[in-house]
Amino acid sequence: MATYDYDLITLGAGSGGVRATRLAGGYGAKTAIIEESRVGGTCVMRGCVPKKLLVFGAHFADDFEDAVGYGWTPGEATFDWSALIANKNTELERLEGVYHRILRDNGVRLIEGSGVLADAHTIEVGGKTFTAEKILVACGGWPTTPDIPGVEHVITSNEALDLPELPGRIVIVGGGYIAVEFAGIFNALGVEVTEIIRAGNILRGFDEDVRDCLAAELEKKGVTIRRDTVVHSIEKTTGGYSLRLGDGDVIETDLVMYATGRAPNTRGIGLEEAGVELARNGAIVVDDGLKSSVDNIYAVGDCIDRVKLTPVAIAEGRAFSETHFNGNPIPLDYDAIPSAVFSQPPIGTVGLTEVKAREQGPIDVYISHFRPMKYTLSGRDEMTMMKIIVDRNTDRVLGCHMVGLDAPEIIQGIGIALKCGATKAQFDATVGIHPTAAEEFVTMRDKRPDHQSAAAS
């Protein structure tokens, strides 16, 4: 029987890789994790956490304005971008220290450097080789940019989190959740924001009412959305950058950010040479048990291109280690996963969109638009939208969607209900908490007429 240095070596110390490896170590396996950058991965170092800290910082601009309606007379407020970035970085350093401690406490060896598979059981790092019975690939994803003239001048979300100073104007190319989140951050901080999308609306794949509602709110706040538009080229100018669009228009700006997607970060690490099958987009092809085409090589997280959410990667990492190192097989369930977009206003969503639900059979749709109570005294012109989609034959709630204050916090609880198979009757029988926005989910009684629902789909 072959003898290896480790029971498990993991490539990548992001959320999924750390969860899997520290659990395996805690269960007695001899484990190591390889990371060429900072421990914590995309979410902690380059994504969810720092981005939400910037969202918090940006939202104070609205909060100061709203305070007047509640009797406050704020003094002159000034904003220091460099202070926000410095404080954000201090918090990231604290979190990275927590991750290091978690690994140490579970006996996991951290190997710093870039790992490359030499064969199915061997990884090379900085001229040294390490062998393992099982290898887990958790290398995450990386922002992609198109091959157009001048693309070398653009930044991605990675750089946007550490800009040395705020620009006066920014063009954000892309209509996904990263693009709308940064559009909200920069807009709230006083930057002139133009968002360029090649489609007719933002947030492809989200419910249509969600897309329409957020787009309207962004435009009310001053974000310019250029629809059905592409960028042909980018040129550096003395004062910034010049973008030539597909329709011949030219836009001048101080900074260009691309948020047009992320790709699995799998190239150049020896996967194909070791026999691991990759999809056309570079994602590792895995079976229901997260196993690749090579029996001892597994993968979790964004590099397998299933559901690109941090909690999903963590759940996959847990399932892997419980199954292989604790004798406790855990099946993976990708249905009814709640998610959020930390736009301004934010989005919370779980279950099927109206379009997807309608493909399965007849449905009833309940929808509500209202001004949040917080803004009744401040007069802010921002609306909340809430929507419930119900299977007409079974009364089961298939999807819930919200745009507005506290949407992510509210939708987490709604996600539990959908996971339990709740019906609309059970929603209706639940007593609401008054006065809250959340109670609207248990007080909506009037169905949207079918002709309106069909038109919306």
pLDDT by 10s per residue, the chain, length 457: 579 999 999 999 999 999 999 999 999 999 999 999 999 999 999 999 999 999 999 999 999 999 999 999 988 899 999 999 999 999 999 999 999 999 999 999 999 999 999 999 999 999 999 999 999 999 999 999 999 999 999 999 999 999 999 999 999 999 999 999 999 999 999 999 999 999 999 999 999 999 999 999 999 999 999 999 999 999 999 989 999 999 999 999 999 999 999 999 999 999 999 999 999 999 999 999 999 999 999 999 999 989 999 999 999 999 999 999 999 999 999 999 999 999 999 999 999 999 999 999 999 999 999 999 999 999 999 999 999 999 999 999 999 999 999 999 999 999 999 999 999 999 999 999 999 999 999 999 999 997 666 666 5
- Torsion sign across C-alpha atoms 293, 294, 299, 302: negative
**pLDDT of res. 305:** 80
Residue 104 has a CB neighbour count (10 Å cut-off) of: 13
- Joined together, the tokens standing for residue 331 give 């099946």
Question: Distances from the Cα of 225 to the Cαs of 137, 173, 175, 205, 212, in angstroms?
Answer: 38, 10, 9, 18, 12
Nearest CA-CA partner of 204 in 241, 234, 166, 176: 176
**Phi, psi (5° rounding) for residue 160?**
-60, -25
Q: Which domains are assigned to the chain?
A: 6-142+263-325 (3.50.50.60), 151-260 (3.50.50.60), 339-456 (3.30.390.30)
For the purposes of burial, counting CB atoms within 10 Å of the CB of 326, is it exposed (0-12), middle (13-18) or buried (19 or more)? middle
> Is 434 tagged catalytic?
yes
pTM: 0.96
User: What is the spatial distance between Cα 140 and Cα 316, in angstroms, rounded to a whole number?
Assistant: 13
User: What is the spatial distance between Cα 362 and Cα 450, in angstroms, rounded to a whole number?
Assistant: 10
Please tell me whether residue 245 adopts helix, strand or coil conformation.
Answer: strand
Residue 247 has a CB neighbour count (10 Å cut-off) of: 10
User: What is the spatial distance between Cα 113 and Cα 130, in angstroms, rounded to a whole number?
Assistant: 12
Taking each helix axis from N to C terminus, what angle separates 15-26 and 81-105, rounded to the nearest 10 degrees? 30
Please give the single-letter amino acid code of residue 148.
Answer: I
| Bridge pairing between strands 128-137 and 122-125 | antiparallel
**pLDDT of res. 96:** 96
User: What is the spatial distance between Cα 235 and Cα 154, in angstroms, rounded to a whole number?
Assistant: 10
DSSP 44-99: IIISHHHHHHHHHHHHHHHHHHHHGGGT---------HHHHHHHHHHHHHHHHHHH
Residue 94 has a CB neighbour count (10 Å cut-off) of: 9
**pLDDT of res. 181:** 98
**pLDDT of res. 74:** 87
- Joined together, the tokens standing for residue 285 give 């092809």
User: What is the spatial distance between Cα 306 and Cα 287, in angstroms, rounded to a whole number?
Assistant: 11
**Contact, 218 vs 343, CB < 8 A?**
yes
| Bridge pairing between strands 6-11 and 31-35 | parallel
Those residues whose C-beta lies under 8 Å from the C-beta of residue 237, and which sit 6 or more positions away, are 252
- Joined together, the tokens standing for residue 341 give 């977009």
**Contact, 456 vs 213, CB < 8 A?**
no
Nearest CA-CA partner of 180 in 147, 202, 162: 202
CA torsion angle for 320, 323, 324, 328 (degrees, to 10)? 140
* Active-site hit among 59, 100, 324, 434: 434
Residue 336 has a CB neighbour count (10 Å cut-off) of: 20
**Contact, 201 vs 216, CB < 8 A?**
no
